[in-house]
Amino acid sequence: MLAGVPSLSAVESRDKSARVAAAAAPVKDWCVEAVADVANLPIHQNAWDRLAKEVIEPNVFYEPWMFLANVQAFAPTRPICIAFVYRHDPRPKQTPQLCGFFPFERRRWFKGLPIRSLRLLEQPLNWLRTPLVHRDWAPETLNVLFDWIAREERCSLVDWPMIHGEGPFHHALLDVLGERRMGTWVDAVYGRALIRRAADAESYCVGAMNHLSRKEWRRQRRRLAETGQLESRVLQTGDDVHRWIAQFLELEAKGWKSHENTALAQCEASRAYFQTIARNAAARGQLQMLGLFLDDRPIALKCNFLTGNGGFAFKIAFDESCARSSPGVQLELDNIDELHRRSDLHWMDSCAIPGHFMINRLWKERRTIQNLVIASSRFTGNSVVGVLPMLRAIKRMIKPSRA
């Protein structure tokens, strides 16, 4: 060995010590405030609301007016640990800036293994769990979060289900994980239907649907119009939003969802939650409701929640007595028209299940949704992340195949 040149093992040991020390010490001018009681969440609401307008990637389900309504309607069943990542502005008399919102729940078991983990909070009627991260401070925010997890939570895994698996947030996350050498495993991944604005509605439909389908749906609409006065409506400023909400709940409860006990009106918590978020969104200009009416009677209704330059399709309901005329499809076509009519809307997430028959025929783009597992401890976490793919392969081999 040359004099004065340390051995490779010494360098690795020194680098490891430096990384551990960096994770153990809080980053200057940054802090994490962890909330374990939902009653304390409104303290952060003003900063949280500002963050929702400045995120690297929008998620309406994590905006305070919707998230708070959810935890109030459906009390979390596991201990929560909601992390607010703040940046302290070094300039005098500046209030701390909220740069990250990460709603976790603490778990003692992970897929049957006795492992401590943090998992993005599981909530009813929430179809995206991408955290809110400030567009100007994404890498710093994520580094502060992972430092805090290593220092304070000391869990082995961080489970990120149902996050957007592409785009600016995902790229920032992968960069940080790569720099920190944190092991990851994609537990599940699928494509979800998405609309991205085209030149106009007609060109979008031509690109998304075949000629025979478009011809058939036009025929069905003509036949439907022959049975009465057919009218497409969109909720406007000044309209009676309470009436729209009541009509939606009533129409949905009459359909197939009532037989499967999934209609919002069948559960008091779900009904109250929907009424609250729809009113909140209407007051903020973030509610979009569309309807197809026959002789002033709603035969299809749709509710979307808007954020930034896009939106999330929350629910649709239709009158099954008109099923032969496909009122749900007709309203989805109206939804495409309305998106292209509004210059402020560039995209919409369907929030649909994988392989949804109707939506996948009409919405041509896809967005990747994935469940990502991150090792937050070097030994246990990385060991579990390394063995999980093998366990899944074994499960697939022993699981009986469908006939």
Extract the tokens encoding 279: 């009113």
pLDDT of res. 239: 96
Are the C-beta atoms of 34 and 81 separated by less than 8 Å?
Answer: yes
Residues 6 or more apart in contact with residue 385 via CB below 8 angstroms: 157, 183, 184, 185, 373, 374, 375
Label residue 383 by pLDDT band (50, 70, 90).
Answer: confident
Domain residue ranges of the chain, discontinuous segments joined by +: 22-190+369-398, 198-345
Contacts of 285 (CB under 8 A, 6+ apart): 306
φ/ψ bin of 146: left (φ > 0), alpha (ψ from -120 to 50), beta (otherwise): alpha
112: part of which helix (H) or strand (E)? none
Query: How far is it, in rounded angstroms, from Cα 164 to Cα 369?
Result: 5
- pLDDT-derived band at 53 (thresholds 50, 70, 90) equals very high
C-beta separation of 289 from 244 below 8 A: yes
Average pLDDT over residues 383-388: 79
Pairing between β-strand 287-294 and β-strand 347-349 as defined by DSSP bridges:
unpaired
Structure confidence by residue, pLDDT tens digits, 205-246: 999 999 999 999 999 999 999 999 999 999 999 999 999 999
* Angle of helix 45-52 versus helix 64-73 axis, rounded to 10: 130
Place of tokens 């909140």: 280
Residue 8 reports pLDDT greater than 80: no
Model confidence band, residue 401 (pLDDT cutoffs 50, 70, 90):
low
Q: What is the mean pLDDT of residues 187-203?
A: 95
Task: For the beta carbon of residue 125, count every other beta carbon within 10 angstroms.
Answer: 18
d(CA 83, CA 14): 31
- What CATH number labels 198-345? 3.40.630
SS (H, E, C) 330-373: HHHHHHHHHHHHCCCCCEEECCCCCCCHHHHHHCCEEEEEEEEE
Rounded CA-CA distance 281/298 in Å is 22
Spatial separation of the C-alpha atoms in residues 304 and 301, rounded to whole Å: 10
Tell me which residue has tokens 């790569």.
178
Residue 346 CB neighbours (<10 A): 14
Share of the chain above pLDDT 90, in %: 78
Q: How confident is the model at residue 342 (pLDDT cuts 50, 70, 90)?
A: very high
Q: Are 340 and 198 in contact (CB under 8 A)?
A: yes
Candidates 3.50.4, 2.40.50, 3.30.70, 3.40.630; CATH matching 22-190+369-398:
3.40.630
Which of 220, 373, 197, 241 has the alpha carbon at shortest distance from 299? Answer: 220
With beta carbons less than 8 A apart as the criterion, state whether 204 and 198 touch.
Answer: yes
Is the pTM of the predicted complex or chain greater than 0.75?
Answer: yes
DSSP letters for 220-262: HHHHHHHTS-EEEEE--TTS-HHHHHHHHHHHHHTSHHHHTT-
Cα three-residue angle 278-189-171, rounded to 5 degrees: 85
Q: What is the pLDDT of residue 390?
A: 74
- pLDDT reported for residue 45: 97
Integer CA distances (angstroms), 308 to 60, 127, 136, 223, in order: 9, 17, 16, 38
Q: What is the mean pLDDT of residues 270-283?
A: 98
* Residue range 106-119, pLDDT digits in tens: 998 777 778 889 99
DSSP string, 122-167: P-TT----PPEEBTTSHHHHHHHHHHHIIIII--SEEEEEEEESSH
User: Is the confidence at residue 92, as pLDDT, over 60?
Assistant: yes
Provide the mean pLDDT of the chain: 90
Is a pLDDT exceeding 70 seen at residue 19?
A: no
